[in-house]
């Protein structure tokens, strides 16, 4: 498995990223992630293919329990109004699904959070697995209705937010 250095850091700590960096035009890897549905009181499995035919925006964060990830995920919730109507927004982290569900309820966030806690596969496939932390590198992906990556931003400084405007514009273009 490819390992990349000098592409992610927090303060003075350099982090190793596992997996190949995805580029616009690449096929979006399918994924199988967990989600806790608090209303049903049950775990659900979510796959990329569940939202086939729609534009998907993947907000990838280290952990919802950190300040920058908290702000970023709230911001995507607010920006959903600026996205094309059928766009599906997922926030993805290695947090436990139960913790994600509690956070979403407390913050009144309605888009789904998906957890990669069982496996490092999503992190490897999307090139965002931080080896030293076993968390995910901050990144944003926009996937078109044909399951192609049309936008990929890997944020090197884990204390910085992504370029929201560029991702919103990519989602608009992908929706036609």
List the catalytic residues: 69
Q: Rounded CA gap, 157 and 138, in Å?
A: 8
In the chain, where do the E strands start and end?
3-10, 13-18, 32-37, 42-47, 56-60, 88-93, 112-115, 129-130, 135-136, 139-143, 149-154
User: How crowded is residue 151: how many other Cβ atoms within 10 Å of its Cβ?
Assistant: 21
Helix, strand, or coil here: 137? coil
């Amino acid at each position: 498995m490819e390992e990349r250095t000098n592409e992610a850091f927090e303060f003075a700590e350099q982090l190793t990223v596992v997996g190949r960096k995805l580029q616009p035009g690449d096929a979006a890897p399918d994924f199988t992630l967990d989600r806790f549905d608090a209303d049903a009181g049950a775990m659900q499995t979510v796959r990329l293919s569940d939202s086939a035919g729609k534009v998907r925006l993947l907000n990838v964060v280290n952990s919802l329990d950190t300040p920058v990830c908290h702000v970023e995920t709230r911001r995507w919730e607010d920006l959903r109004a600026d996205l094309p109507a059928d766009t599906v927004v997922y926030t993805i982290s290695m947090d436990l699904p139960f913790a994600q569900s509690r956070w979403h309820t407390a913050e009144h966030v309605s888009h789904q959070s998906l957890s990669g806690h069982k496996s490092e596969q999503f992190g490897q496939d999307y090139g965002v697995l931080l080896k030293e932390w076993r968390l995910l590198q901050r990144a944003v992906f926009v996937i078109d209705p044909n399951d192609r990556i049309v936008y990929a931003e890997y944020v090197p400084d884990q204390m910085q937010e992504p370029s929201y405007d560029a991702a919103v514009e990519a989602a608009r273009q992908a929706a036609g």
